Amino acid sequence: MQQHLQEFLSQIEQAYWIEKTNTKPFNILIIGKTGVGKSTLVNALFGKQLSATGVGLPVTKTIAEYHQEGFPITVYDTPGLEIFAEVNQDIKQSVSDLIADGYQKNQEKRIDIVWYCIHARASRYEKNENDWLEEIAKQGIPIILVLTQTFSSKNSDFLAYLKTRNLPVKEIVRIMAKPYQITEDFVVPAHGLDDLVKVTANLLDDSRRKTLISNQIVDVDLQAQEAHRYVDSYIDNLASIVDPLLFSEQLTELLGTTSVILNVAIDKSIVSVVFNFIKKIISELFKNILSNDILSSVANLADPTNIVKSYIKIIRLVADVYIDVLTTKKKAEKENKNISEDELIQVTEEKLNKQLQEHHLDDNIEVR
């Protein structure tokens, strides 16, 4: 075999770091009174990347910036928003200036979304709050009204009231960012964070949507869906520019980028499994025709135009299996379960065989 596993692995890692480097920043402006649960919300969504105990960099006297080097999400917080009185005029002006600066001076700091947080059990939403949100909305920033510390994910009287108002917000989302102890025997489970991510993602352009979904930690399935969405788009483009000579380059680009979307570092054991079944499926599909070099095997067919459909199917099959295996691995880790390399191989074989049947490429193939 002329192309070795290490070369294949290096190509995926290169694609991974190119995608990482080109990740667009995502900036959140979070507004709400002290005690509403803003820090809890941010940490629950993004883990320890943005610590509640960290000291925010003061942007102005009334806005703090929370950011960590190498992490593409920045949170701007408005502390001290207790009453809508004269003291808060400075906050309003600072917010307006922050939004304007992002559009006019530095696109990297452009505010992409506003989460306006209200304590659900306070059940208060006043006219001056609504007036301010209307001012923000006029600056072109989508706003999500977040009802924090909700005991139930079901409708409430306060939510019903808010829905009767013509609010300048895109959506109202109810959350409990972390489990809430009511009594010794009763705990309200966390809920709503996945809804907040989905609603927010749907308001973003593709690049920032990808940044948010990749770096949130509450919904692995959403990351997998986004990875499959990327693969679909990539395959659609391939249909018009198929070049079998670029087989390895295109495949490794797909695998590297989907690793970033799933926020998983390149795992040599998984890549090894993928590499082996690529060799196997190609040899099964085109035996006695191909060379032993995976880089040129598809290109060396006597008439490449006759295998375009199979070529695209192979690309999709490999990408789909890779995403499914990484998703399985992530879910196991999230549940603090260890998954061995042998188990990964078994999972890959099972998912590969399922994909083979769905794509009608061949009978069952083992990768061991």
DSSP codes, 162-227: HHHS--S-SEEEE-B-S-EE-SSS-EEPPBSHHHHHHHHHTTS-HHHHHHHHHH-SS-HHHHHHHH
Residues 6+ away with beta carbon under 8 Å from 45: 177, 193, 196, 197, 216, 217, 218
- Which residues lie below 8 Å from residue 214, measured CB to CB, with a gap of 6+? 23, 223, 226, 260, 261, 262, 263
Domains and CATH numbers, the chain: 25-215 (3.40.50.300), 220-359 (no CATH)
- Alpha-carbon gap, residue 233 to 227, rounded angstroms: 10
Q: Determine contact, residues 99/136, Cβ cutoff 8 Å.
A: yes
DSSP, res 234: H
- Output the six-digit token pair for 234: 């990539």
AA letter at 272: S
Full-model pTM: 0.84
Give the pairing type, strands 113-119 and 143-148.
parallel
> What is the predicted pLDDT for the residue at 283?
65
Contact predicate 314/249, CB 8 Å? no
For residue 154, give the amino acid letter.
K
> Over its length of 368 residues, how does the chain's per-residue pLDDT go in tens digits?
345 788 889 999 999 999 999 999 999 999 988 888 888 899 999 986 564 444 555 455 678 888 888 899 999 988 766 655 554 778 888 888 888 887 777 778 889 999 999 988 777 788 888 888 999 999 999 999 999 988 876 667 888 888 888 899 999 999 998 877 777 778 778 889 999 999 999 999 999 999 999 999 999 999 999 999 999 998 888 766 556 556 778 889 999 999 999 999 888 878 887 787 777 766 665 554 444 444 444 444 444 455 566 677 778 888 888 998 899 889 988 888 888 878 877 887 787 777 667 655 554 444 44
User: 322: which strand partners?
Assistant: none
Nearest Cα to Cα of residue 193 among 16, 33, 43:
43
Alpha-carbon dihedral sign for residues 283, 285, 288, 294: negative
The pLDDT, as a whole number, for residue 361 is: 56
Whether 224 contacts 323, CB under 8 Å: yes
CA-based R_g, the chain, Å = 24
* Encoded tokens for 235: 């395959």
